[in-house]
Amino acid sequence: MAPRRVRRAGPQRPRPRVRAPRARRVPAVALHQLPERRSAGHGPRQRLPGAGVSAAAPRAGGRVVELVAERSLDVVEREVPEPGPGEARVRIRAVGICGTDVHGYLGRSDRLPMTLGHDAVGIVDALGADADAEHGTADDVTPAVTVGDRVTIDPTVRCGVCGSCRAGLPQVCSGGGYLGMTATGTMADYLTVPVGNLVPVADGVSDVAATVLEPIAVALHLLDRVGAFSPPARIAHVIGGGPLGVLLGQTLGVFGWAVTVHEPQAYRRIVAASAGLSVAEPGQVTPDSAPVLIVETSATAPGVQLARTLATPGSTIGLVGRAPADFTSAEILLKELSVLGVRAGVGQYPAAIDLVARGLVTPLITVSHEFALDAASEAFAAVTDPAREVMRAVLLAEPTPERSTEGNTP
């Protein structure tokens, strides 16, 4: 399958001069239609495996994309794994290439060889023993999955028994991991995972859209983390206009935040503007004295420096990207800043799917290129080539007509 550039409705060349308009808010009608959140209040939550839940490490089979060295990928054939107790085997249909995958490809992977990928959609192919019992069917949890269900995979792997898991913080599980980073990822034909990590995908959400759910889940986790630290005016500055920054900003907008996305690359600013967000080049906005929310998604030193510049006294900073820079304790103290780490979006995928199914967040606007799974090397080469202007690429293991239901056909 030859790679395709996906063209979507929105601004086209010639590119307009980008200004920094006043931050825009989502119309009030959208806010009234939001799903009611439990506890922190953002929508349906997924049940996470608790104490006593155990499963083998995720295992990939069929065609498997392995990172074997910096900028070097192999597509190898592996035996299709059988799901163990409490596990499901998923036949992968599509996988998104995330910024985290790119960082690993460029040399930041902690282990080699590594199967990359964590943003995926697929079909439940087989269930291990006791899989239904592990998943649960209470009113406030994800419905039990069955063979043939279309699902996405919450990529946070947790043991269920450590102190963090018992405290409801599986994203920092001492014995867990993350698909595609510290555990086998989703760039394969088949993957076995604990059944509690599976989340059914609504019919109104296409395969390609379901490969860009993580940024929305992260945004919902961010909102939970901000909580009492929320600035009164609900003004947010998102640093980085990649898929994570754009969809995180769009999700914040749905919940009433006035969002400006700061991004140096013009084509990304155009995508952010098409998502209904205010945009600015770095350094274009001069902050006033009111406290704001700043979300650093770029994972770059200049991004952290911009966050420091925008951080007015009393502001809250959410760190989503792992940047090679930091804030000083002096500025945190003297400005009385609140700095929050936001790691993954565990448990937030049902609510993310709901927002997409209702058209409140539109992940497809970030997908610019599609490649076959076998063309993973070509895909990563394109993603890392600035001249190609790849916003987000998707690897298709099983091209299906359902993808065209949200305008995904060029």
Distance CA 372, CA 378 (A): 9
Q: What stretches of 55-158 show up as alpha helix (H) in DSSP?
A: 99-103, 131-135
The model's pTM: 0.85
Domain 59-213+346-406 falls under CATH 3.30.470.30: no
Q: What is the DSSP string of 173-185?
A: -TT-EEBTTTB--
Distance CA 385, CA 166 (A): 43
Q: CATH 3.40.50.720 occupies which residues in the chain?
A: 11-37+214-341
At the fourth CATH level, which superfamily is domain 11-37+214-341?
Answer: NAD(P)-binding Rossmann-like Domain (3.40.50.720)
pLDDT tens sequence for the chain (410 residues)? 555 565 444 443 333 333 333 444 444 334 334 544 433 445 555 544 433 344 568 999 999 999 999 999 999 999 999 999 999 999 999 999 999 999 999 988 778 999 999 999 999 999 998 776 544 433 344 457 999 999 999 999 888 888 888 888 888 888 888 898 889 999 999 999 999 999 999 999 999 999 999 999 999 999 999 998 899 999 999 999 999 999 999 999 999 999 999 999 999 999 999 999 999 999 999 888 899 999 999 999 999 999 999 999 999 999 998 888 788 999 999 999 999 999 999 999 999 999 999 999 999 999 999 999 999 999 999 999 999 999 999 999 976 544 333 333 33
Residue type, 315: S
Output b/e per residue, 97-129; b: 16+ Cβ within 10 A: bbbbbbebbeeebeeeebbbbbbbbbbbbbbbe
Which DSSP letter does residue 340 get?
A: E
Cα 93 to the chain's mean position, in Å? 17
State how far the alpha carbon of 175 is from the alpha carbons of 171, 178, 182, 234, 318, in Å: 10, 11, 11, 36, 25
Q: CATH 3.90.180.10 occupies which residues in the chain?
A: 59-213+346-406
Whether 370 contacts 383, CB under 8 Å:
no
